[in-house]
Amino acid sequence: MGQTSIRRRLIAIVVLSQTLLAAGLLLTGIYYTEWRLLSTLDAAMQARAMSLAALVRYTEDASGDVYFDDSLLPPSIDPSHPDLFAVWTEKSGLLVHSRNWPKDLDISPAGKDHWRFKWAHVHYRGLRVFHVPVLDREEGASFHPQTLSVIYAAPLIQLDQQVNAAGVSIAAWSALLLAVTVLLALWGIRRGLLPLQQLADRAALVSSQDWELHAPKEAERTAELRPLLQSMTNMLARLERSFVQQKEFLGNAAHELKTPLAVVKSTLQSLLQRPRSAEEYQKGLEHSLEDLQRLEQLLQWMLRLARAEQWAHGALRRDLQVIDVTATCEEAVERARHLAAERGMTIRLAKNGQVPLRADPEDLQLVWSNLLENAVRYSPEGGTVDMNVATANGGPARVTVEDHGPGIPADELPHIFDRFYRADPSRNRATGGFGLGLAIAKALVEAYGGKITAQSTLGQGTRMTVELPTN
């Protein structure tokens, strides 16, 4: 499992950057130390080479010969490790060299002024100096100055030791710094991630009993956690809403199903409580039958709703034919005519030719029937209901059902598509209806990728608009 850890990653970054920094520091430190020590060494070597050159004397004659006065040899730079030197003259070649001068040493590496070489397991730094001594001479005396070539070499034992010591010390300090940084980073990350842990602890307390996320203050103050906190809060609100809706639906369904059952049961039990007249028995049985029919109806509606919703969630796929929406509207109006006539109402259908759509005609008729029944039920007797079906070239099929009833208050309008919602507050069962019609209509319309909306003006009426995409 590819588990990653923010803490481990951050620590890795800290360690890596610290190591790079330490390596850089070490290299720079060593280079700088060596450079400083070498320039000091070079200065000392230069001075000694010049002293050696100064010990070359000219003879008093006109031959221009030279000799070396070895009475004033400069001391070695490092007293425990003797330096090497040799002096050449233009004329006579090697004039003098130190006692330990290696005969076979290659003394002219590519004409460099400074170089490093190894002899008898010891590293040396070599220096070559050219010098023309100038001497005070009496006027007229013949004088042939010679160019001297001096090579001076000092062992690097001490210098290498010093550079090593500097390197070790820098490395040690860097390691210590690295350790301290890692500890600090560990502590810092732990502290930094603490609000996340606290948030997780609080989030674990959220349940279906208490949906509120009591976010710790620390987490609220942490800028990085704010987006997470925000989306958690939003998500919980959505979850709670749907949970409450589901619970309400369950409660409503239980109530709606159990009440008629309770009525039938109580009717039959009360019939059996004592001997009754034949009339009483008949009346009781009639009532029971009525209530059972109502229960059956309700079950049908609930199944229809369940099917529509299931389909809306893509659980069913059907091969659909292209049908005419206008024809389904005509059929629905025909079916609703009886109910409308009972209330002395007329339904007017405004149509404009065929509106082709890939759909099941039964589904569409059910939607229109539900809308028409609602419109008829909530309109004053003797009024009219207007139905309009049209499509704007290539646009969605648009069906509106408009009544001229009392309208729906603005605060109830968002709920009319809720399951078991009844606009009629007295919920008089005599008017029929279970509060499922609009929920079914909505589920079916959404199953076809359409949408259903309601506009209402108090005292003027309500208009339901269904839009179905035609492609």
Binding-site ranges for another protein (CB under 8 A): 209, 251-252, 254-259, 261-267, 269-270, 273-274, 287, 291, 425-427, 429
Beta carbon nearer to another protein, 161 or 270: 270
SS3 letters for 156-220?
A: CHHHHHHHHHHHHHHHHHHHHHHHHHHHHHHHHHHHHHHHHHHHHHHHHCCCCCCCCCCCCHHHH
Least Å from the CB of residue 378 to another protein: 16
Beta carbon nearer to another protein, 270 or 297: 270
Least Å from the CB of residue 400 to another protein: 31
- Are 230 and 251 within 8 A, CB to CB? no
Least Å from the CB of residue 266 to another protein: 4
Beta carbon nearer to another protein, 48 or 294: 294
Beta carbon nearer to another protein, 269 or 471: 269
| Among 302, 324, 309, 332, residue whose Cα is nearest residue 401 | 332
Q: Which residue bears the tokens 């209901």?
A: 385
Write the Ramachandran bin of 320: left for phi over 0, alpha for psi from -120 to 50, otherwise beta: beta
Beta carbon nearer to another protein, 142 or 207: 207
Q: How far is CA 3 from the centre of its chain?
A: 16
Coil vs helix vs strand at 470 = coil
d(CA 132, CA 195): 80
Is 231 exposed, middle or buried, given 0-12, 13-18 or 19+ CB atoms closer than 10 A? Answer: exposed
Coil vs helix vs strand at 10 = helix
Least Å from the CB of residue 4 to another protein: 41
Coil vs helix vs strand at 94 = strand
Least Å from the CB of residue 301 to another protein: 17
If you ran DSSP here, which 8-state letter would residue 140 be given? T
Distance (Å) of CA 181 to CA 184, 395, 445: 5, 66, 63
d(CA 372, CA 287): 29
Beta carbon nearer to another protein, 268 or 410: 268
Q: What are phi and psi of 304, to 5 degrees?
A: -60, -45
Beta carbon nearer to another protein, 197 or 266: 266
Beta carbon nearer to another protein, 3 or 209: 209
d(CA 236, CA 215): 12
- Are 366 and 304 within 8 A, CB to CB? yes
Beta carbon nearer to another protein, 260 or 405: 260
Least Å from the CB of residue 254 to another protein: 4
Q: What is the dihedral of CA 104, 109, 112, 115, to 10 degrees?
A: -70
If you ran DSSP here, which 8-state letter would residue 431 be given? G
- Are 86 and 48 within 8 A, CB to CB? no
Least Å from the CB of residue 306 to another protein: 19
- Are 389 and 399 within 8 A, CB to CB? yes
Least Å from the CB of residue 397 to another protein: 38
Least Å from the CB of residue 310 to another protein: 24
Beta carbon nearer to another protein, 264 or 355: 264
Least Å from the CB of residue 290 to another protein: 9
Beta carbon nearer to another protein, 179 or 254: 254
Least Å from the CB of residue 258 to another protein: 4
> What per-residue string of b and e applies to 117-137 under the rule 16 or more CB within 10 Å gives b?
bebeeeebbbbbbebeeeeee
Beta strands 397-403 and 384-391, pairing class: antiparallel
d(CA 76, CA 155): 10
Least Å from the CB of residue 225 to another protein: 33
Beta carbon nearer to another protein, 4 or 269: 269
